[in-house]
Each structure stands twice: as structure tokens, then as C-alpha cells.
């Protein structure tokens, strides 16, 4: 896991899980991202207090690489506590789910209504919130999302078949560095699910966190997993 490797490289790392499926100890961050963002804020405050630091660097994956932290940065006054935000395959502009978003977002669709009801019952509202065109997505991204004083790095892959199209990960705003994995390591076929285990991506994240001592990425061919 990336957090373990970053710790081995000398970084002080913290991770958190909350707002998950009821009565489950291992399925987390499925609930309303507005509530999860508040939880992230409380966690960051705890880390700053414990480490006697002024700011943190955020490294996230999927939901935790895009909409959840961006909700915190934009609407929960998080920008003053974050120096660098690195997002791996973020669902920034949502996913089309290969066209299902058109039905699931529709206010007249029975499928959409049943999906929302099911996700609410399971505390899984982050799923419909991450559809391209969702009300949540519009509220967050229809106006500029990046915040002054925060550095943004996005790393995504052409083999991401969860955030579809993969270009929905990008933020085209000032201060954002958008990186396509295959432009650095052409033989890397890492997808959405295993990018946090990818040694090439770990090197890239290390370089972003400590740019003063960055090294050329030593690319390892990676197979597509998911």
C-alpha cells in the first residue's frame, strides 16, 4: 500500500476511514461526501495538533483524490491547512458509467429514483454524487474549485475504466499539474483499482512531495488489473 511505502521513505503518514456502510468495519467513505468532508477537516485538525504543523499534504485516491477533499478545501475552509493536494485517478467531474449517468441522474427515471433510495438506505450516497452531471458534482465544479495557496497534482491513467472518460479526472484551472501516467511510463497499464500499489506511481508521488530531490521515474511494466 502506498502509505506504507511513503512511511518507509521517511514521510509522516496518517490515514482515516469514516462515514461508511452501517455495521461494516471495512467499507468506509460511502456516505454523503459533504459529511465526509467535515470528517476530513476534523481529522486534519487532529493531525496538525499532534504533529505541531501548520499544514498537511494530502494524497488521495478516487473519491478521496477529487470531490471529497475538494469539498473540504472549497466549502469547509480547508485551504489554509493544506499545502499540496495530490489526487490519483480522481472522480473530479464524475463518471458517465458508460452512459448510465443519463438514467441515474434523471428526475423522471424510476431506475434513478430506486438507485438513490438504495444508496441512501446503505449510506452510499457518494456513488450517485460521483456521477457526471449529479447535483453534487455541479455544485462543486460548476464554479472554479481550486483554492489560492494550494498546489494541485492529478495523476490518472488511460486504463481507468471507473472514472469514464479518464479525462474527467483533470482540472483545467490555474495551479493544477495534470499528469497522464502513460506519458511517463508508456508500458504501465495500471487501472483504477491498483494505482496505489503501482511502484511507478509511488515514485511520482514521492517526487511531487519532495520536488527538491526528485529523481527520474524508473519505469516498471505493469499489467492491467482493474
Q: State pTM to two decimals.
A: 0.90
Please report, for the chain, the start and end positions of each structural domain, with discontinuous segments joined by +.
2-93+148-213
Q: What is the pLDDT at residue 30?
A: 81
State residue 166's pLDDT score.
98
The pLDDT value given to residue 103:
56
Please give the pLDDT value at position 23.
Answer: 52
What is the DSSP code string of 7-20? HHTT--------S-
pLDDT (tens digit per residue) in 121-170: 777 788 889 999 999 999 999 999 999 999 999 999 999 999 999 999 99
Lowest mean pLDDT among 78-92, 104-118, 208-222: 104-118
pLDDT confidence tier of residue 53, bands split at 50, 70 and 90:
very high
First to last CA, the chain: 16
Closest CA to 156 of 131, 189, 181: 181
As its CATH architecture, domain 2-93+148-213 has 3-Layer(aba) Sandwich (3.40)
Amino acid at each position: 500500500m502506498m502509505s506504507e511505502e511513503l512511511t518507509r521513505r521517511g514521510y509522516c503518514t496518517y490515514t482515516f476511514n469514516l462515514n461508511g456502510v452501517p455495521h461494516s468495519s471495512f467499507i468506509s467513505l460511502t456516505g454523503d461526501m459533504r459529511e465526509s468532508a467535515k470528517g476530513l477537516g476534523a481529522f486534519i485538525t487532529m493531525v496538525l495538533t499532534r504533529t505541531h504543523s501548520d499544514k498537511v499534504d494530502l494524497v488521495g485516491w478516487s473519491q478521496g483524490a477529487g470531490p471529497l477533499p475538494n469539498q473540504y478545501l472549497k466549502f469547509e475552509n480547508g485551504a489554509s491547512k493544506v499545502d499540496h493536494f495530490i489526487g490519483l485517478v480522481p472522480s473530479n467531474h464524475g463518471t458517465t458509467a458508460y452512459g448510465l449517468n443519463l438514467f441515474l441522474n434523471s428526475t423522471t427515471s424510476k431506475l434513478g429514483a430506486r438507485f438513490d433510495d438504495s444508496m441512501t438506505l446503505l449510506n452510499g450516497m457518494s456513488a450517485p454524487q460521483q456521477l457526471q452531471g449529479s447535483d453534487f458534482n455541479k455544485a462543486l465544479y460548476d464554479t472554479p474549485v481550486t483554492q489560492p495557496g494550494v498546489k494541485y497534482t492529478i495523476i490518472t491513467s488511460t486504463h481507468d475504466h471507473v472514472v469514464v472518460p479518464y479525462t474527467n479526472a483533470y482540472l483545467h484551472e490555474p495551479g493544477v499539474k495534470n499528469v497522464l501516467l502513460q506519458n511517463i511510463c508508456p508500458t504501465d497499464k495500471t487501472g483504477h483499482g491498483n494505482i496505489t500499489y503501482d511502484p511507478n506511481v509511488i515514485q511520482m508521488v514521492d517526487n511531487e512531495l519532495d520536488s527538491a530531490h526528485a529523481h527520474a521515474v524508473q519505469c516498471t511494466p505493469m499489467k492491467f488489473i482493474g
